[in-house]
A = this chain, B = another copy of it.
Amino acid sequence: MSYTKLELQPLFDKIDELKPAFIERLSKAVAIPSVSGDESLRPKVVDMAHFLVKELTSLGFEDIQVKELGIQPPPVENPKLELPPVVLARLGNDKSKKTVLVYGHYDVQPALKEDGWATDPFTLVHDSVKDILFGRGSTDDKGPVMGWLNVVEAHNELKWELPVNLVCCFEGMEESGSVGLDKLIAQEAEAYFKGVDTVCISDNYWLGTTKPVLTYGLRGCNYYQVSIKGPGADLHSGIFGGIIAEPMTDLIKVLSQLVDGQGRILIPGIAEMIAPLTDKENALYDDIDFSVEELNAASGSKTSLYSEKQDILKHRWRYPSLSVHGIEGAFSGGGAKTVIPSKVIGKFSIRTVPDIESNKLDELVIDFVNKKFAELNSPNVIKAELIHDGAYWVSNPFNDAFTAAAKATEDVWGVKPDFTREGGSIPITVTFEQSLGTDVLLLPMGRGDDGAHSINEKLDVSNYINGCKTLGGYLHYYGRG
């Protein structure tokens, strides 16, 4: 038990004492179906913003601002649809303290009982036998957002000052592409967010179900499409089969040459850009609590390309991958349709890692695709293009923020956290880092099996309550560090 932990014990005890109130707060939040992807529920997303304002106000936050982001750009059904606001709030403005920006989102994924939920998704249900809270948003991301409020409430009850100045940035469009947020962050970088020393995002998950983690890296994603256009309209294969060059034949030949069955990308020049694996990084993988069995459980299959934990984690976190997602314009229904599609658009993406240069990657990919198509001597017309990209992110897991979070984690959970990366991207991480010029820490609250975007989303009560303690402890260690 560290020296500091003794000092934090009253905070941890208070958090335990307030557990019923904290569950009640999360319950109120979950009851608001703030689904950003459903236009008809947009008023509920706005209600959720106002709920936050009310909570922040009663907790004593200052300078609470509801930042409107304007009209949602197309595609939308309602051309006048307003984006949900970003809620900003601040607690403390003491120049002698460090300033921590905490980010979370108050919108959620869609959920319908008939999707297969065991309980009403918008009622937080406490399974007291398993001590688990079920409900949409419980873990993604209302639990963590309430977590920051809970930390403040515990301090208020203890009549403790926060050890840092706290700046909150809570958005309502995260599940729908964070539309408008990049611009707002850029605008506020030298205004509301001026003086921020570090950013903490609690919007991801432990790797597994038993060991807490801190996350220091994310892969990026460059998403490409290859359109091949032939006939002026879809044709009947009886009449045209065998006498015209079919776009689908060409597309499949091109797509088949991008990656091999072992997941190796076949486009020359990419492997050379990958940062070499240092001994220090290599050693990190040995301690991590993970196994091929966990991967198999998560994928619901025995389709792993690797059997060793280290290989799996490296290929998830630090090597690029290429997935072919599908084809737009081809027949995609059930049964048999004898169509020759006139224009087909193959979709694939590459997960990017240090030190792949995004523009260089695009050039390699597009050139390769065009070259492979040219080899077919097809009369059809190709267009290969990038349609979306998001940068990878890697932090120093030994910096002040990570060190503080690691101490807090050990105090609360009794184990050192695993330092993990993630295969997916959280674009806002890079945005904060670049716009504010600060470090970012990903400090997850929930477990790997919480089912963030699935039915029966849950948050274990222990994760919720210990998560609050960890967030609070992190602020203290960071504030004093």
- List residues of A whose CB falls within 8 A of some B CB: 219, 221, 223, 225, 230-233, 235-246, 248-250, 252-253, 255-256, 259-263, 295, 298-306, 312, 315-316, 319-328, 330-342, 347, 349, 351, 376-380, 387-388, 422-425
- Knowing A237-B351, A242-B263, A312-B243, the reply to whether A328 touches B334 (Cβ < 8 A) is yes
Question: Which residue in B219, B223, B246, B331 is a CB contact (below 8 Å) of A347?
Answer: B331
Establish whether residues B351 and A325, one from each chain, have CB atoms under 8 Å apart when the complex forms: no
Question: Which residue in B239, B253, B328, B376 is a CB contact (below 8 Å) of A422?
Answer: B239
CB distance from A185 to the nearest CB of B (A): 22
Greatest chain B CB density within 10 A among A219, A232, A242, A342 is at A242
B residues less than 8 Å from A244 (CB atoms): 295, 299, 301, 303-305
Task: State how many copies of this chain the complex holds.
Answer: 2
Establish whether residues B315 and A242, one from each chain, have CB atoms under 8 Å apart when the complex forms: yes
Sample of 17 further A-B pairs with CB below 8 A, known A328-B333, A330-B332: A221-B338, A230-B303, A232-B300, A235-B299, A237-B323, A239-B423, A239-B424, A240-B423, A242-B263, A242-B305, A242-B351, A244-B303, A248-B326, A255-B256, A261-B376, A328-B332, A337-B347
Taken together as a complex, chains A and B put the C-alpha atoms of A305 and B302 apart, in Å, by 43
CB distance from A406 to the nearest CB of B (A): 24
Establish whether residues B242 and A319, one from each chain, have CB atoms under 8 Å apart when the complex forms: yes
Establish whether residues A300 and B233, one from each chain, have CB atoms under 8 Å apart when the complex forms: yes
Chain B residue with the shortest CB-CB distance to A248: B324
Establish whether residues B245 and A321, one from each chain, have CB atoms under 8 Å apart when the complex forms: no
CB distance from A224 to the nearest CB of B (A): 9
Taken together as a complex, chains A and B put the C-alpha atoms of A260 and B252 apart, in Å, by 11
Establish whether residues B230 and A301, one from each chain, have CB atoms under 8 Å apart when the complex forms: yes
B residues less than 8 Å from A260 (CB atoms): 249
B residues less than 8 Å from A239 (CB atoms): 298, 316, 422-424
Establish whether residues A245 and B331, one from each chain, have CB atoms under 8 Å apart when the complex forms: no
Taken together as a complex, chains A and B put the C-alpha atoms of A301 and B378 apart, in Å, by 13
Greatest chain B CB density within 10 A among A243, A246, A295, A335 is at A243
Establish whether residues A326 and B327, one from each chain, have CB atoms under 8 Å apart when the complex forms: yes
Establish whether residues A341 and B321, one from each chain, have CB atoms under 8 Å apart when the complex forms: no
CB distance from A83 to the nearest CB of B (A): 18
Nearest first, the 9 A-B pairs at minimum CB distance are A232-B300, A238-B424, A242-B321, A326-B331, A326-B330, A241-B321, A256-B256, A332-B332, A237-B323
Question: Which residue in B253, B259, B335 is a CB contact (below 8 Å) of A261?
Answer: B253
Q: List 21 A-B contacts (CB under 8 A).
A: A230-B303, A231-B303, A232-B300, A237-B349, A239-B422, A240-B298, A242-B316, A242-B351, A242-B423, A243-B423, A244-B303, A245-B261, A245-B263, A261-B377, A325-B330, A325-B339, A326-B332, A326-B337, A327-B330, A330-B332, A336-B347
B residues less than 8 Å from A259 (CB atoms): 249
- Knowing A261-B249, A263-B243, the reply to whether A237 touches B325 (Cβ < 8 A) is yes
Establish whether residues A221 and B238, one from each chain, have CB atoms under 8 Å apart when the complex forms: yes
Taken together as a complex, chains A and B put the C-alpha atoms of A245 and B307 apart, in Å, by 13
B residues less than 8 Å from A377 (CB atoms): 261
Greatest chain B CB density within 10 A among A236, A322, A330 is at A330
B residues less than 8 Å from A422 (CB atoms): 238-239
B residues less than 8 Å from A312 (CB atoms): 243
Establish whether residues A423 and B336, one from each chain, have CB atoms under 8 Å apart when the complex forms: no
Taken together as a complex, chains A and B put the C-alpha atoms of A378 and B337 apart, in Å, by 28
- Knowing A261-B245, A263-B245, the reply to whether A325 touches B299 (Cβ < 8 A) is no
Establish whether residues B347 and A243, one from each chain, have CB atoms under 8 Å apart when the complex forms: no
